[in-house]
Each structure stands twice: as structure tokens, then as C-alpha cells.
Structure 1
């Protein structure tokens, strides 16, 4: 499938500030790879407030401005916007002013859970963010161990008003068949609304966004893939995006023989 533009809302392209790109050379390589993949706009989303990385709003904005100047000087046709992959913690409301949204008005924000679990206070935190006018977009739920075991957790967050993002690499099988199948189920049940690269400049974490969109188009029809791409554009512009027609994933039945 060909797209006029592809917006990537989750990418660790800024150099030397988290576990993504480790140097300007890495970042330029990622940028060239993105362009080759058809990506035209990237939301730079370094980790923020997890156990290892703190990337303040002002620092990210400055780094994006510098990196954009570097891209322009090399005539790489890519537009970068400042964002963060915000790790859930109990102080997000107190630190709200230091948080970057997907859009300028912070109508949407990427929210990351630990890979191993979903914190007990997650529902309350989502409620608090919604109350502030920010819709959390739960990133890569297909890779969260607790959600893998119980998909109703994600269903309830979507029901509460959150959105969710599946990773392109997950969808095409880069994290294994089980994660790919779960990603497909999330798309089938409308529990995720966008696909993003989550590119990190390391092997297996590069740009396969156009491949994932094409695969979604193959699996669910061209209109579904187009909607996923449009949702990414609408989110970065701060337009309304809502989960719709979503449904629970049926649990496997256990049969007992006596």
C-alpha cells in the first residue's frame, strides 16, 4: 500500500538520551531509514520518568529543534516534533507541566506501563489525566505480561476513555508469533487505534511501519489501514480520535475431564 504521508507517533530517534539512538550518526541513519519506509513526520518520544531516564520538556524541545536543523542541513525530508514516552507513576499530576503531549495542547499523551505488570493505580491515574483534559494512549499493550494474560485489562482502559498503540514490529512478528497474534486480535477487536514504529536504532527495532500498515490492510481491508494512518495524523494535530466498535476478546475455554 502507498500512503502520501506516514506519521510515526512513537520513536526514539533523538541521540544519546535514552535506550534508543546512541549518537547523531545513529539518529541520521534512523531518519534515512524512516524516509525510505515512507515516513514523513515523526514524534520524537524519549523515555520520561521511568527508572532510568528523565527527559524534561524543555530539553526535548531544544534537542528536537537542533536535530531538525541537522536534518534540514542534510536535506533529509523529515519533520520532527517533540514528545515523550511517559512512564506511569503516582506523580504525573504534580509533574503535569513537564509532560509533553502527542499534540501541542496535550490533548493526547503516550503512557507506558512496566513490561511485567499493570500498576494497581493505573485506572485512577488514567482518570486523573482524563480529568485534566489529556487522553492517555497506552503504548505497546501487546508486550505487557499482565495484559497478555488478561486482555480485559486493556478493554477496561479503552472503556474508561483511553486509547492504545500497537508496535509495528509486534504486528509483523518481530517479537514472536504469540505477540503478533495478540496484536492482530487487538486490531480485530478495535482495542488499538494506531500503529507506530517504536524504533530504537538497534537490531529488530527499526522501521517497518509501512509493512505493518500494509499487513493490517491485507488482514482487515485497505480502509482499516488508512484509518490507522489517519488516526496518527489526527492525534498529532489534536483532532478528535475515539475508540469505537471495540469488544472484549473471548477467553479460551478450559475443558475438564473426569
Structure 2
């Protein structure tokens, strides 16, 4: 497919899991890709090399989501190297489980910085570079809609916040025809949450379709939202969790 031909995309957290799948799918659809990583240069380079094998441009940039200047500089480098910036995907994330009596302020701040503050920083920097018709897509979580078990104070708070950020961005950037949407995966088979993990059966028990999703399923939805076919969709949330939230 070539529905993203001549487009450039910046994907945070693109070295593994859902972020890597998104970077590869956008490249398959024709986009050149800049991806960031925090601590896995070998994995990031492997993803970039796979993208280059598809005939697309690709660069891997070290940028910790907790470092606002690094994120801003990465957006600048992507814009300069790829010759533009059309699509931002905020995909970098961490998981955190602690009930309120155990959760430290430092851990709460860490999760909020990586998910919410960094998404704001990247969106602000990217929007300044985008032309009419840009796309901002943020990876949230179905745990940003409901909290089915204890210990999600930091994680769910951050993911709920991303929904509000998305809607606000859609309103602010709508006059420029830049869309902002959020994709909310449920249990997805990645190294962070494998389908064979200790808590996998409990997660499957919540689902209408009792199986883990695949990262490429999420990537396909992101690719659609990045395309011209989705030009009238903005401020919307898309939950892809096998029916865990119905």
C-alpha cells in the first residue's frame, strides 16, 4: 500500500512492542520514519534497518521521555533529517502497579512524565512543524476508561489524562486540519505483558474475545488514523481490547 507515500512520521518508543509495530506498519504504508528509544539502541537500530529494507528512510534517535529537551530535539532532528513532519505517534510508555498506600510520589511523577508530560511536549513541538492535514495519534490504554483491579492509581490516572489532552489538541489544532486521536489498547502480547504471563488468564477472563491482541492490530488502526481516509476523525478514542470494557 502507498496511502502514506511522501509522508513522514515520528514515533516515540519505537524500538519494541506496539511502538515498533506502528513504525513498521507506517513504513509499509509508505511513510519515512523517525523513532525514539530510551535505552535499547540495538533494538531501535533493528527496527530502523527493517524499515530501510522496505525502501523507506529511517532514523533511530535516543530520547528519554522524561527529558523534555531531548524530546524537543528529537522532533527537530526528525524534521530536519526527513525533510518534514506529518505524523506524530506518542507510543512510549511504562506500566506501574501500586495501590495508593504503597505508591510513592516519585513513581507517580515518573509515570505522569513519561505518558502525559512527554506527549504534551512532543505534540507541541510536532504541531509547530506540521503543515495542514497533520496527524497526532496517542497510544493510551483501555485502563484509561475503567479500572478493573487495584493498583492502577498512577497508570490509569495518566491514561485518563491522555484522553483529555487528545480532545484539547483536537480543538486547538482543528482550524489547521490537524487531527488528534487516541488509540486505547487492552491486553496486547508484548514483552511488557506477554500472553503467557502470570496474570494473563485473569486478563483474558475480562474479555468478550478471550485472547490477547497483537501489536500489529493496534498498528493497523494507527495507520488508518494517519491516512487521508481519517481526515474527518478528530478528538476521538478507539478502544481495541477484545471487548474487555463492554
Same fold (TM over 0.5): no
Larger radius of gyration: 1
After TM superposition, the score normalised by the length of structure 1 is 0.40
After TM superposition, the score normalised by the length of structure 2 is 0.41
Q: Which structure has greater helix proportion? A: 2
